[in-house]
Amino acid sequence: MEFKVVISDPSTGMAYQKVVSGANANRLIGKKIGDVINGTLVELPPDYELKITGGSDKDGFPMRKDLPGNVRRRLLLAGGVGYNPNERGLRRKKMVRGNVISRDIVQINLKVEKAGKIPLAEFFKE
């Protein structure tokens, strides 16, 4: 079990990618969009706090905050995550995933809520 985790840092505008597997990946299962997690779950120092902002499943369908559970559904969307209409009033049925992280999720998007003493760029040097 592994997740691709994309960590966005709003203070610098940079995003960093990391693969989380093993016990830390299992502890992410069951978390919802909007939950704040500790940095140790993604192998960062414990003084980091990260907020789950979304993700996508193995087939590329995005997670929506307003769809409860970990189900995949076809919803009539007028905009927002999963559909961006070209003109006002346009609606379309699109497949989206629920707001709970399950084994079918491949990518998880996180945002730094509380930064630690060491900047993120130090951990993701190449």
Q: What pLDDT, in 10s, does the model give residues 23-36?
A: 999 999 999 999 99
The per-residue pLDDT for range 67-124, each reduced to its tens digit, is 999 999 999 999 999 999 999 999 999 999 999 999 999 999 999 999 988 888 888 8
pLDDT given for residue 6 in this prediction: 96
Average pLDDT value for residue range 8-30 = 94
The boundaries of the domain holding residue 36 are 2-123
103 Cβ contact partners less than 8 Å away, ≥ 6 residues apart: 1, 29
Domain count, the chain: 1
Confidence at residue 126, expressed as pLDDT on a 0 to 100 scale: 65
30, two tokens: 């069951």
Cα–Cα–Cα angle for 75, 29, 73, nearest 5°? Answer: 10
